[in-house]
């Protein structure tokens, strides 16, 4: 039974010097517990924040303890009446091949809704983040221009599609031609920008001839600095992520206040947990749209427990299209 521990806190980009695969004992379930085997692990940019010990909305990982996050797992032994051997569940669990759970800390996955991996992507945390950030904060209206940064990732690829469902002119920003062609050809995004190749000011001006009404921001940094000058009167900004800054200690940038004042724009940061009491609403819309074929999704799946760190590091190099997962074992 292996686990992946945090052994050193990163200052900048996380790498193999910060994580270590360690052998541990196979736990035995006691009454009221079940033993689960990991099938899929989700790696997520927010985990970078938990590797630091700075205060945040979620507690830091502890040194010499396993990293943890969203997983899909199978019950292999149960001493809890409500969990049966063979049940597939999703939960927040340590990066450990076998782990103990209690029934109230897991959610059974309904395989009729889609492949079980969707519970970590479009029908899970990233999907809900996209739905609430866009609909609640962005308040997109038909015909408005919606700009999405990090558009080809797990959250962004859902945001752009919901934007099309609403009837927006959707502009997607991403870091490769493969990603921009995915956005345009498979997700129906109206205008795409490869921020690594194009002059951002010119490309944004061309893509947004009527300015920007809603900005769903996954990345912050230089990209956002270029979006602010285009904000329309009463624009809304859903500040979802700032991955451009996660590995840059003391990151600083141009000032945005004047742009907000001039446009009377509203900017609101959020975490998906803010919407916990409304998760059912989001889940119902996402699963309905998925069933109707109005939403689709992509996954980048790497194989092997020991490859989890590389999959995680890859997020910061843009290696994934859609949701980045690691397949750990077969059900
Ligand atoms: P993604 O699937 O979008 O993966 C991360 C992507 O970020 C990469 O593929 C890469 O794409 C892009 N990226 C990496 N480094 C940079 C950089 N320096 N500048 C610009 N883009 C970069 O991850 P998620 O969809 O899971 O998350 C997207 C964002 O939303 C993250 O910032 C995350 O922290 C945040 N988030 C916030 C939540 C909340 O509750 N507020 C919940 C979930 C996520 P590319 O090739 O285009 O560069």
Res 24 pLDDT > 90: yes
* In the chain, % of residues over pLDDT 70: 100
Which among 120, 112, 117, 27 is positioned nearest to 77, based on CA atoms?
A: 27
* Chosen CATH of 2-121+298-327 out of 3.40.50.300, 3.40.50.720, 3.40.50.10110, 3.90.180.10: 3.90.180.10
Task: Note the pLDDT tens digit of each residue in 84-115.
Answer: 999 999 999 999 999 999 989 999 999 888 99
pTM recorded for the entire structure:
0.98
**Is the CB–ligand 1 distance for residue 69 below 6 Å?**
no
**Is the CB–ligand 1 distance for residue 247 below 6 Å?**
no
Over residues 22-48, mean pLDDT: 96
Going by the DSSP 8-state scheme, the letter that residue 137 receives in this structure is I
**Is the CB–ligand 1 distance for residue 124 below 6 Å?**
no
Q: Distance between CA atoms of 209 and 304, rounded to whole angstroms?
A: 46
Q: Is the domain covering 125-274 a CATH 3.40.50.720 domain?
A: yes
123 CA → ligand 1 middle, Å: 18
* In the chain, % of residues over pLDDT 90: 95
Task: Note the pLDDT tens digit of each residue in 230-240.
Answer: 999 999 999 99
How much is the pLDDT for 111?
87
Contact 179, 156 (CB under 8 A): no
Task: Note the pLDDT tens digit of each residue in 142-152.
Answer: 999 999 999 99
The residue among 309 and 253 whose pLDDT is bigger is: 309
**Is the CB–ligand 1 distance for residue 224 below 6 Å?**
no
**Is the CB–ligand 1 distance for residue 126 below 6 Å?**
yes
238 CA → ligand 1 middle, Å: 14
**Is the CB–ligand 1 distance for residue 157 below 6 Å?**
no
- In this structure, the strands spanning 2-6 and 65-66 are antiparallel
Going by the DSSP 8-state scheme, the letter that residue 139 receives in this structure is -
Q: Distance between CA atoms of 31 and 52, rounded to whole angstroms?
A: 36
Ligand 1 atom showing the smallest separation from residue 240 Cα: 41
Res 55 pLDDT > 90: no
Token readout for 84 is 């049966």
Q: Which helix (H) or strand (E) holds 3?
A: strand 2-6
**Is the CB–ligand 1 distance for residue 243 below 6 Å?**
yes
Res 54 pLDDT > 90: no
Task: Note the pLDDT tens digit of each residue in 245-278.
Answer: 999 999 999 899 999 999 999 999 999 999 999 9
What are the sequence ranges of the domains in the chain? 2-121+298-327, 125-274
């Amino acid at each position: 039974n292996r686990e992946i521990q945090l052994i050193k806190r990163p200052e900048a980009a996380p790498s193999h010097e910060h994580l270590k695969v360690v052998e541990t004992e196979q736990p035995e379930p006691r009454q009221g517990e079940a033993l689960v085997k990991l099938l899929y692990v989700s790696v997520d940019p927010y985990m970078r924040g938990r590797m630091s010990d700075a205060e945040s909305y979620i507690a830091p990982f502890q040194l010499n303890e396993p990293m943890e996050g969203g997983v899909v797992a199978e019950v292999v032994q149960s001493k809890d009446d409500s969990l049966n051997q063979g049940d597939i569940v999703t939960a927040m669990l340590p990066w450990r091949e076998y782990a103990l759970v209690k029934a109230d800390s897991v959610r059974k996955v309904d395989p009729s809704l889609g492949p079980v991996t969707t519970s970590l992507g479009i029908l899970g945390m990233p999907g809900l983040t996209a739905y609430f950030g866009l609909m609640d904060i962005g308040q997109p209206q038909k015909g408005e221009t919606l700009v999405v940064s990090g558009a080809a990732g797990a959250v962004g690829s859902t945001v752009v599609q919901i934007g099309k469902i609403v009837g927006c002119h959707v502009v997607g920003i991403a870091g490769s031609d493969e990603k921009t062609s995915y956005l345009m050809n498979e997700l129906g995004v109206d205008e795409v920008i490869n921020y690594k190749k194009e002059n951002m000011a010119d490309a944004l001006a061309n893509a947004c001839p009527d300015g920007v009404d809603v900005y769903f921001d996954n990345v912050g940094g230089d990209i956002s600095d270029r979006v602010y000058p285009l904000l329309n009167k009463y624009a809304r900004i859903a500040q979802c992520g700032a991955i451009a800054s996660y590995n840059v200690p003391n990151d600083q940038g141009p000032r945005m206040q004047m742009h907000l004042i001039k446009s009377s724009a509203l900017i609101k940061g959020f975490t998906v947990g803010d919407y916990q009491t409304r998760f059912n609403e989001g889940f119902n819309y996402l699963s309905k749209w998925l069933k109707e074929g109005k939403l689709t999704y992509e996954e980048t799946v790497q194989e092997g427990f020991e490859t989890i760190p590389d999959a995680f590091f890859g997020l910061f190099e843009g290696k994934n299209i859609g949701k980045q997962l690691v397949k750990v074992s077969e059900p």
